[in-house]
A and B are shown apart, each in its own frame.
Chain A
């Protein structure tokens, strides 16, 4: 573990200014992922700027019936919030499907979005990983990758990376068309969830489009107005990252899909908004046949690895089942 300085700032702008001057520094939120990575030697910041007390820990109403979630709101509080449970069950369910009670108490909303992949080659500094050590190769591509990405990977070249994004919450927020409020050295900007997380492309070291020194201050979730649900499949009943998860919301009128939101977790380097499936579904009858067609349309792009081909039928079944549950009385 590298020696580091610990700093506190008086307000968000001061924190941003502090970190802007420290190219090797990092913000510290709940620390549930960053501190682990520091112990493992994966993250080696020389300065930690503690922002836990700087951003809002409140959930407030937006004019359209949506919610603004302060970046410092603990995952546990967000999951338990009555407005969230009533209006965005998909978000509450996603949060409760992640981590453990203790971790959810500690982890922040902003930090949850910025957690790093749990790919075991990324977290072990003795192995190759283009995300951790650019140019060293991808240990997972030909190695152990049962729980790696099937969509949007970089399968060759110096950017090779097949890691998945670990967050459940981010999958729900992607389906909800949330936007992320960011404070940087040049002021505030708003980043749609669809543009926050990256595919590995030719630079897997970057998980997000945020620039160094930018601080997430809040997440805006617009009103939804339709039933929603999160379903996660994992290797055991609790405390495991997703094999595949799905966040879904659907509005059916007269048997026809009016509107639908669909995002997948555990399948890609970022929360995977299933736009191809959504396109197939809009205006179609809300039947199992349509749901299968939609899932297949989305998964046509899948490029499974040697040992993770099961994620394709698993994702298809999960999409179909979740949509059936949202539109009928299927358990």
Chain B
């Protein structure tokens, strides 16, 4: 092997870019199974809670081109142990509006959709219960939060410390239900060859989907293959199995043909999960100089009646600031809503919005610069686990960001800067996200022509993993990019967890590095350091968490600085510029990493100003279920973004010293925008999104 310049860190252009731009990279809907494809359309419940009382498919069945209509009466029985809303058509009970109550399989999607309208369904319906409130008597403490976090944490005497604090903040913040809206709709194409199932599917990890398909159709591991080389965006809703995969496989088995099921945008709002709304009460106690004595963060959020999803919203509060007395709690209400799921930085995103807004309110209360307030409360060790940091550079992010943004000399007073009719303000907030590593396996094949095949079931959901993993592999093998053929996105490849929790590169990259090390060792020990004429195959793995995970607290950090302008006549908000600085360990690909940071931050701006799934309290459905009405930020809403990262060398987190960057960009971003909005207007809007109507509400007009 020859030595080449290190590729990790370089801004290598996406190796899958040309195929995607030319439209030749096949997404799930575009796969060619080699036979005519049948189409699925689904009949969805129009009531929110109740039971199917009548279901007559006969008119639909009689339509030319309709191959099958499946209902709870004739659908194949699925295996035991399917969670949440995966037991499709296994019961007459209805748990949420939009639940699948019948499936039409037809020769074309037009016929299938027309036949949906011909299926007659009646319900005995009950009143829906979809409104979350902190006063509900049925709030309960879940046994655990997602990702294994404890439900509550209590250290010291919080109430006593709050009672005796020189300065306190006591405020309640609300974030709305939000929906993942990747451009590519969830899509599943299924084919059975005898008792073997092949599925081309849009997901964040083929191995994540396999287990549910095995359980649903009572298959052995070698009877299922999920293939997902290209995925058109994913923020969490594609992490786990949803009804679409079950529907496609069920339909294909019944008609004996390849079947595809692509959700409509409207169906994305009921069938593939959402981010729970939150109601968060923050209480901070501090000395007159801003030093925190107590932090209390109490979270109320929802889950569905048919499954428990407990978002870890207050967990960032357990690591961000020092305070001797501290408490975090999570309580859930079971509502008649579709099962919630993860959406970019679940927990950290809504949680940091509340904490970092409360910190801004505290800075105002003590008359301190909000950057200085954060520096003053920097903890030397993890304040709840009492462990040293593997590395932590929040203060450096704040200082560097302040300098790049031009923060110095900022007037603390709100509503004193104007440009014509614009009110101008600036705001800051911290970002943080946990660093984890998951089990992953890898197979590296050395070919006699000097080329290498690197195989691992990683996923590229638009992040740049195709490129970044190839860089990692080339460095690890000591060859150039062109000598590496990467294969990802296929459950027949060596096991890997999906793209989620910002663990992808840390886990898959580490597996590649460790396996390449085994390759070198085997070459050295058995083949005199030379690739043998018949080539070589080596399997390796990374077992899971870093061996240092119990001894060090591992997190990425960052800081956002934002300028906003608010039209004093209309309440319109504009964001002309922002600076974000991150300390996230090794950055593998400078180009795709920058995209991740830009996208994450922009999604946070979108959360602050636009995104909200509005439920009708009487009918129970999400009313604004399309991209015309569910607003995400457009290019015109995002100004100049300055993205910067610090050199950070962390020897404990994983083989590459990287911390994962898919999610940290969104964390804290909404708080920075909200804080800048307050600085501009003097109005503290504590319920997102900050839309023009709330400007008038806060002014007491209308």
Contacts and interface: CB of A to CB of B under 8 A. Distances in A.
A307 B623 CA distance: 15
Interface in B581-622: 609-610, 614, 616-619, 621
A143 B110 contact: no
B114 A235 contact: no
A321 interface: yes
B420 A238 contact: no
A233 B148 CA distance: 45
Interface residues of A, number: 40
A41 interface: yes
Interface in A220-240: 233, 235-240
B702 A235 contact: no
B590 to A, nearest CB: 29
Given A1-B114, A314-B571, A120 B634 contact: no
B636 interface: yes
A124 B693 CA distance: 25
Given A237-B634, A318-B570, A310 B619 contact: no
Contacts of A143: 616-619, 623
A309 B701 CA distance: 8
A12 interface: no
Interface residues of B, number: 42
B702 A311 contact: yes
Given A1-B114, A144-B624, A310 B636 contact: no
B569 interface: yes
The CB with the most chain B CB atoms within 10 A, among A121, A142, A236, A308, is that of A236
Contact of B702 (A238, A304, A321): A304
B697 A1 contact: no
B692 A126 contact: no
B633 A126 contact: no
A236 B607 CA distance: 12
A237 B421 contact: no
B105 to A, nearest CB: 17
B692 A233 contact: yes
Contacts of A314: 570-571, 692, 696, 702
A144 B614 contact: yes
A299 B636 CA distance: 31
Contacts of A41: 117
A238 B692 contact: no
B contact patch SS: loop
The CB with the most chain A CB atoms within 10 A, among B117, B421, B691, B702, is that of B702
Contact of B421 (A139, A243, A321): A321
B144 interface: no
B147 interface: no
A56 interface: no
Nearest to A325: B421
Contacts of B570: 233, 314, 317-318, 321
Interface string A168-182: 000000000000000
Contacts of A330: 420-421
A243 B616 CA distance: 20
A143 B620 CA distance: 10
A233 B626 CA distance: 20
Contact of B637 (A118, A139, A144, A236): A236
A310 B696 contact: yes
B629 A120 contact: yes
B572 interface: yes
A5 interface: no
Interface in A228-275: 233, 235-241, 243
B181 interface: no
A2 interface: yes
A139 B117 CA distance: 21
A3 interface: yes
Contacts of B702: 304, 309-314
B696 A235 contact: no
B113 A1 contact: yes
Contacts of A238: 634-637
Contacts of B701: 310, 312-313
B693 A310 contact: yes
Given A139-B619, A233-B572, A146 B114 contact: no
B275 interface: no
A211 interface: no
Contact of B691 (A121, A126, A235, A304): A235
B253 interface: no
Contacts of B621: 124, 126-127
The CB with the most chain A CB atoms within 10 A, among B633, B634, B693, is that of B693
A309 B117 CA distance: 38
Contacts of B618: 142-143
Nearest to A118: B628
Interface string A95-129: 00000000000000000000000101101101100
A310 B623 contact: no
B46 interface: yes
A321 B624 CA distance: 31
Nearest to A144: B623
A237 B636 contact: yes
A277 to B, nearest CB: 17
A237 B114 contact: no
B636 A146 contact: no
A27 to B, nearest CB: 22
Contacts of A127: 616, 619, 621
A320 B215 CA distance: 65
A243 B702 CA distance: 14
A137 to B, nearest CB: 11
B692 A239 contact: no
Contact of A235 (B569, B631, B636, B697): B631
B113 to A, nearest CB: 5
Given A120-B623, A144-B616, A144-B624, A317 B636 contact: no
Nearest to A126: B46
Interface in A1-30: 1-3
Given A120-B623, A144-B616, A318 B637 contact: no
Contacts of B695: 310
Given A2-B114, A331-B420, A240 B631 contact: yes
A34 B618 CA distance: 29
Contacts of A311: 702
A318 B572 CA distance: 12
Nearest to B567: A233
Contacts of B631: 235-236, 240
A3 B113 CA distance: 11
B692 A236 contact: no
B560 interface: no
A315 to B, nearest CB: 10
Interface in B659-701: 691-693, 695-697, 699, 701
Contacts of A331: 420-421
A148 B635 CA distance: 26
A146 B693 contact: yes
A308 B421 CA distance: 24
Given A3-B114, A243-B692, A318-B569, A236 B610 contact: yes
A298 to B, nearest CB: 15
A70 to B, nearest CB: 28
B568 to A, nearest CB: 8
B574 interface: yes
A53 to B, nearest CB: 25
14 contacts: A3-B114, A120-B624, A127-B616, A127-B621, A142-B618, A146-B614, A235-B692, A236-B609, A236-B637, A243-B693, A310-B693, A310-B695, A330-B420, A331-B421
Given A3-B114, A120-B625, A308-B693, 10 more contacts: A120-B624, A143-B619, A236-B631, A237-B574, A239-B628, A307-B693, A310-B695, A310-B696, A313-B701, A330-B420
| Closest A-B pairs by Cβ, 10 of them | A309-B702, A237-B636, A310-B696, A310-B702, A238-B636, A317-B569, A310-B693, A331-B420, A313-B701, A126-B46
Interface of A: 1-3, 41, 118, 120-121, 123-124, 126-127, 139, 142-144, 146, 233, 235-241, 243, 304, 307-314, 317-318, 320-321, 330-331
